[in-house]
Amino acid sequence: MSDPVIAPMSMVKPTYSAKYNPSNWYWYVQDVPSQYGGGSQIYSSALASYIPEDDQTYQDWLAAGNKHTLITTHEELHAVLDRQYPLGTPKGRTLDLLNQGLSITSQSNSGLNGTYAIDSQSSQAIDVIATGITNKSMTLPGGGATFVYPDMYGNVHSWSAAQFIDFAQTVLNYVYAVQMNAATDGGYNIPAQPIDIDSATV
């Protein structure tokens, strides 16, 4: 009686369940700066931060057959994310605040309350209007004692010259704080919203 023939086991290549998605990916960073804890750590672009290796979401991701990307330095990782997914870095998330608008209140005129666009183009428009108001040889936009300016949802609000100057100063202070926070890696305080324009610091 001949020996039974044992069929060879098929070698199944491991498959990864997720395609590379820079907005929700993990990197193993070999050289992390001391201010982030040093050593080698796992970085999550979804959280824009380093995470512990026993993070449950990360462990579930690995268990699903995924594999993190190995990268040498913190700087190299941020260069990749700056190109592929800026919101994956603390700096990118901070600067994105400028795209989310600025919520303001006015104790003296609640009709001004709202959320206003402060992206680059909008900030420039606000600055142009405020500069024109402070030029004594120019009238207010529209030529009246007040003028209208919209919030980011298209609702128009009626402004006096003094109120708009306070608003422009508030925008200037907030934009500066956001940019400084991003430049100093969180080392500059960003005011909480909503901000009362009546207390704007000139």
What is the reported pTM? 0.77
173 vs 152: CA distance, rounded Å: 19
Residues 84-117 pLDDT 10s: 999 999 999 999 999 999 999 999 999 999 999 9
> What is the rounded average pLDDT for all residues in the chain?
90
Residues 2-55 pLDDT 10s: 555 444 433 333 344 568 999 999 999 999 999 889 999 999 999 999 999 999
Q: Are strands 156-159 and 147-150 parallel, antiparallel or unpaired?
A: antiparallel
Question: What integer pLDDT is reported at residue 186 of this predicted model?
Answer: 81
Question: What integer pLDDT is reported at residue 2 of this predicted model?
Answer: 53
What are the residues facing 157 on neighbouring strands?
Answer: 149
Say if residues 101 and 60 touch (Cβ distance below 8 Å): no
88 vs 23: CA distance, rounded Å: 6
Question: What integer pLDDT is reported at residue 17 of this predicted model?
Answer: 56
Question: What integer pLDDT is reported at residue 14 of this predicted model?
Answer: 38
Residues 41-92 pLDDT 10s: 999 999 999 999 999 999 999 999 999 999 999 999 999 999 999 999 999 9
Question: What integer pLDDT is reported at residue 3 of this predicted model?
Answer: 53
Task: Scan for tokens 């190299």, then name that residue.
Answer: 76
Counting other chains too, the contacts that 60-65 makes at CB distance below 8 Å and 24 or more residues apart are 61/18, 61/26, 64/17, 64/18, 65/14, 65/15, 65/16, 65/17
What would the mean pLDDT of 144-164 be, rounded to a whole number? 97
CA atoms within 13 A on the CB side of 60: 3
